[in-house]
Structure 1
Amino acid sequence: MPEVSAPVIKLVRRTTEPVAAQTIRSTAAAVISFVVALAVLPDQPAPLTAPLTALLVVQVTLYSTLTTGIRRVNSVVVGVLIAIGFSALVGLTWWSLGLTIFTSLIIGRFVRVDEFVPEVAISAMLVLGVSQIASMAWHRVLETLIGAGVGLLFNLLFAPPVWVQSAGASIDGLARAMGRMFRTMGDEIGAGHIPFAHAAARLHEARRLDHDIVEVDASLRQAEESLMLNPRVREGLLSRIVLRTGLDTLEICAVVLRVLTRSLTDLAKFRTEESLFPPDVAASLKELFGQMATAIESFARLITTQVAANAERAEEQLTEALAVSRTTRDRVADLLLEDVQEHPRQWQLHGALLAEIDRILDELDIDKRTERLTQELDRHSAEMRERRPRLMALTRRLRGHHGTERPPGVEA
């Protein structure tokens, strides 16, 4: 079943991304900028710099569009100025071309255009190679300004898609992968003897969760940018904090899960001819791991649910799963204590196993999540008051002194 579900989750995650909307927006912005450039520069046979700039400026999020547009225009203007200077001094030769490229790349680092450093050299080369340097330079800058202006205006009038759903699907996929690991470990423990090779393979699988976390983090960063400065989003800050703190919690749980699999691997290494646990302990651990899997999946649903009613239901499910998990954990602790008294070997691994279970349950706790969200909201509000006191005061007046809406379980 895990071999089938993982590709299905990836497929669903891709189909939920608003790629089609972004493709249409980029194409429309490039065509409009080309038409505008033809109208403004009728002497230019093919002002392709304008649609190229618009295509690059209309990024996935409004925030990146604004920052990218400024950097791109800056890179083109700097490249044109460098080309004008070299053309007036030395003209176009093989060594002047190399010196122009070298100088453009160096200056591009100092003007902080980031990923558009090569664009400085490209603009300089294109302008340096024409006969009418002044006219070409002006046209090049004007085409860039047209493309950047159309791209920026396009994103202001037609807000880009919000990538929260895609980030939520990534977080949910990570939680489901962790849940599958818990259930698989429970089934293996309940079956009796676990070969060391199987336990080691489970440890490597837990270590590979780090790669999944990196992918989820990239998806979440895109979602966070899509919420910034987006007129379609009312509570962008709240959504960003809920998702970010939720991913932090799952990342901690993934680290503890890796340590837990290491403890089981060490037990399998010492107990090569017998079961890891007696039948009663194994049955209780299987039950506990299944409950913990449900708790992690419920936590992911809670932080990714957008509708208040569904969020309340997810919170109820998480509370119930944590309650039964703690009850089963106490029963496992009692059984392990009896087992240690009869078989004192590797008692420290039994204690480590219980400690790791406790850490995961503590991280998923509702009260801890509420406290973390409250701290993050208060910290961000304090930072905003220090950086932009007038803007915060105006925002409070416009909202009628009402506080920021908070998710279920978070007190104002």
Structure 2
Amino acid sequence: MPEMITNLVTRVARRRREPVAVQALRSTAAAVVSYSVALRLSDEPSPLTAPLTALLVVQVTLYSTLTTSVRRVNAVVVGVLIAIGFSALVGLTWWSLGLLILASLVVGHLVRVDEFVPEVAISAMLVLGVGQVTDTAWDRVLETVIGAVIGLLVNLLLAPPLWVGPAGAAITDLASRMSRLLDHLGEEAPGAEPQGPGRVAQAAARLHEARRLDNDIAQVDAALRQAEDSLRLNPRVKEGLLFRLVLRTGLDTLEICAVVLRVACRTLTDLARARPDGPLFDAGTTAALQQVLRHTAIAVESFAQLITAQVSANAEQAEARLAGELAVAREHRDRLADLLLAATRARPEHWQLHGALLAEIDRVLDELDVETRSQRLMEELDQHARNRPTDSLRGRLSTRLRAPRARTVSRGPRSPRGGSPPTGAEPSG
């Protein structure tokens, strides 16, 4: 019994530190405080506009709160001004109501209030529908301002949660899905059973699995955008730009790898359809391909651990593991290139598919390379540093990268048979 109580208390305490729980508490506090203040300052008996504004304003990040506050207040003021103008010219009839709504929606788009365009029409209708238009109008503006100000104060006094952890977890989960797909491709080796229509269906199933990664990338991108907003204007973060660049460039790399992986699945599907009755490769070629896929799968997971190092704090271990797995994968890739060359000489009709498969493997390995990641980070940092001096940030970034060329295992000469694509060209899908 005491152990159960201890576990329950631990789970509750952990929940209190989660971003969702923190956000719920902050929003509730802002709504209650804004309603209490509005009761004293507004003439309305139930000034619910103030807590409603506070709920909408207190977003998950301080940056979103500031931008939402401006748009929300702007929408209400514009709606009130439109209602005052209509009340001075016409009364409330069906045609004036329709004209009011149309004008409010059009003006809302013109003043760029984004998601609060309906709020312009709502404010105008609520104000026009009462008898004392002027008093009600300015009471609504006052309540909106109270809710926006209280929301900002709550975000300043109670620091918004950082969403770097959930974004890092989303990136890690995406890498795990890609790694599992690579493992499945290796387990279902192209030289093994089943053969015939069953093997074609199996390869097509993996192709659909690779295509589903696009939806996963979209979800991770949304989580990363939320994390990037939480780092902006946050007093608890000293190197927000560095964190944003590391996570964003890492996700870009995984997205490229997902696209190339989907193309590789298409290549294997085409090979299965081209050879429905016999093995795609001999036993040696199949074993080499399995090893390449297996070590690439481990490298993808290590890359995800590396780019989320500010969350997991295992950067050096992940980088060493990544470099080692890439080196082993390249060794098996070179052996696979020799075996595919021999197979192409025996059956030249599939040389294009063999070359495409090697090129796709090369592209994934090159994208995951530590040197490529460091170069991409420095390019992004240079782009952000054009408008402001960030020499100290660049120095910290260079120190954190720790000259990866010195620690990266030598790649050795690349086999000329693989036809590795240029590193500057990205696949289009």
Q: Secondary structure of the residue that 2:280 maps to in structure 1?
A: coil
Equivalent-residue separation in structure 2 for 1:106 and 1:275 (angstroms): 64
Q: Which amino acid aligns with 1:24?
A: L
Matches within 5 A, 1:144-155: 144-155=144-155
Q: Is 1:306–2:293 an aligned residue pair? A: no
Equivalent-residue separation in structure 2 for 1:134 and 1:309 (angstroms): 59
Q: Is 1:67–2:67 an aligned residue pair? A: yes
Matches within 5 A, 1:11-160: 18-41=19-42, 43-160=43-160
Matches within 5 A, 1:196-345: 196-306=200-310, 310-345=314-349
Equivalent-residue separation in structure 2 for 1:155 and 1:183 (angstroms): 45
Equivalent-residue separation in structure 2 for 1:347 and 1:126 (angstroms): 71
Pick from 369, 374, 386: which aligns with 1:370? 374
Equivalent-residue separation in structure 2 for 1:279 and 1:411 (angstroms): 40
CA-based RMSD: 1.9
Q: Which amino acid aligns with 2:25?
A: I
Consecutive unaligned residues in structure 2, runs of 5 or more? 1-14, 405-429
Equivalent-residue separation in structure 2 for 1:301 and 1:98 (angstroms): 56
CA displacement at 1:339 relative to structure 2: 2.3
| Correspondence for 2:5 | none
Given that residues 23 and 60 in structure 2 are in contact (C-alpha distance below 8 angstroms), is that contact kept between their aligned partners in structure 1? yes
CA displacement at 1:320 relative to structure 2: 0.6
Alignment length (residue pairs): 384
Cα deviation code 1:150-202 (max 9, x no counterpart): 00111112111111111111111111111111110111116613511111111
CA displacement at 1:309 relative to structure 2: 5.3
Given that residues 62 and 233 in structure 2 are in contact (C-alpha distance below 8 angstroms), is that contact kept between their aligned partners in structure 1? yes
Q: Which amino acid aligns with 1:44?
A: E
Q: Which amino acid aligns with 2:46?
A: A
Q: Is 1:409–2:401 an aligned residue pair? A: yes
CA separation of 1:105 and 1:307: change in aligned 2, threshold 3 A:
closer
Cα deviation code 1:135-160 (max 9, x no counterpart): 11111110000000000111112111
Q: Which amino acid aligns with 2:100?
A: T
Equivalent-residue separation in structure 1 for 2:110 and 2:342 (angstroms): 68
Given that residues 190 and 283 in structure 1 are in contact (C-alpha distance below 8 angstroms), is that contact kept between their aligned partners in structure 2? no
Given that residues 190 and 279 in structure 2 are in contact (C-alpha distance below 8 angstroms), is that contact kept between their aligned partners in structure 1? no
Given that residues 373 and 410 in structure 1 are in contact (C-alpha distance below 8 angstroms), is that contact kept between their aligned partners in structure 2? no
Q: Secondary structure of the residue that 1:371 maps to in structure 2?
A: helix
Given that residues 75 and 108 in structure 2 are in contact (C-alpha distance below 8 angstroms), is that contact kept between their aligned partners in structure 1? yes
Given that residues 319 and 366 in structure 1 are in contact (C-alpha distance below 8 angstroms), is that contact kept between their aligned partners in structure 2? yes
CA displacement at 1:303 relative to structure 2: 0.3
Equivalent-residue separation in structure 2 for 1:377 and 1:139 (angstroms): 48
| Correspondence for 1:6 | none
CA displacement at 1:91 relative to structure 2: 1.8
Q: Which amino acid aligns with 1:33?
A: S
| Correspondence for 1:388 | none
CA displacement at 1:307 relative to structure 2: 6.0
Consecutive unaligned residues in structure 1, runs of 5 or more? 1-14, 386-391
Q: Secondary structure of the residue that 2:328 maps to in structure 1?
A: helix
Q: Secondary structure of the residue that 1:275 maps to in structure 2?
A: coil
Q: Secondary structure of the residue that 1:189 maps to in structure 2?
A: coil
CA separation of 1:411 and 1:231: change in aligned 2, threshold 3 A:
farther
CA separation of 1:257 and 1:63: change in aligned 2, threshold 3 A:
same
CA separation of 1:410 and 1:369: change in aligned 2, threshold 3 A:
farther
Given that residues 29 and 54 in structure 1 are in contact (C-alpha distance below 8 angstroms), is that contact kept between their aligned partners in structure 2? yes
TM-score (norm 1): 0.89
Percent of aligned positions with the same letter in both sequences?
64
CA displacement at 1:134 relative to structure 2: 1.3
Equivalent-residue separation in structure 1 for 2:220 and 2:313 (angstroms): 26
| Correspondence for 1:352 | 356
Equivalent-residue separation in structure 2 for 1:403 and 1:366 (angstroms): 18
CA separation of 1:215 and 1:25: change in aligned 2, threshold 3 A:
same
Q: Secondary structure of the residue that 1:46 maps to in structure 2?
A: coil
CA displacement at 1:69 relative to structure 2: 0.2
Q: Secondary structure of the residue that 1:306 maps to in structure 2?
A: helix
Given that residues 308 and 408 in structure 1 are in contact (C-alpha distance below 8 angstroms), is that contact kept between their aligned partners in structure 2? no
Cα deviation code 1:276-295 (max 9, x no counterpart): 11011111211110100000
Out of 299-308 and 97-106, give the one that drifted further. Answer: 299-308
CA displacement at 1:73 relative to structure 2: 0.2
CA displacement at 1:37 relative to structure 2: 0.7
Equivalent-residue separation in structure 2 for 1:341 and 1:272 (angstroms): 20
Cα deviation code 1:53-72 (max 9, x no counterpart): 00000011111110010010
| Correspondence for 1:162 | 162
CA separation of 1:179 and 1:246: change in aligned 2, threshold 3 A:
same
CA displacement at 1:96 relative to structure 2: 1.4
Equivalent-residue separation in structure 2 for 1:92 and 1:71 (angstroms): 27
TM-score (norm 2): 0.86
CA separation of 1:121 and 1:64: change in aligned 2, threshold 3 A:
same
CA separation of 1:410 and 1:72: change in aligned 2, threshold 3 A:
farther
Equivalent-residue separation in structure 2 for 1:286 and 1:218 (angstroms): 34
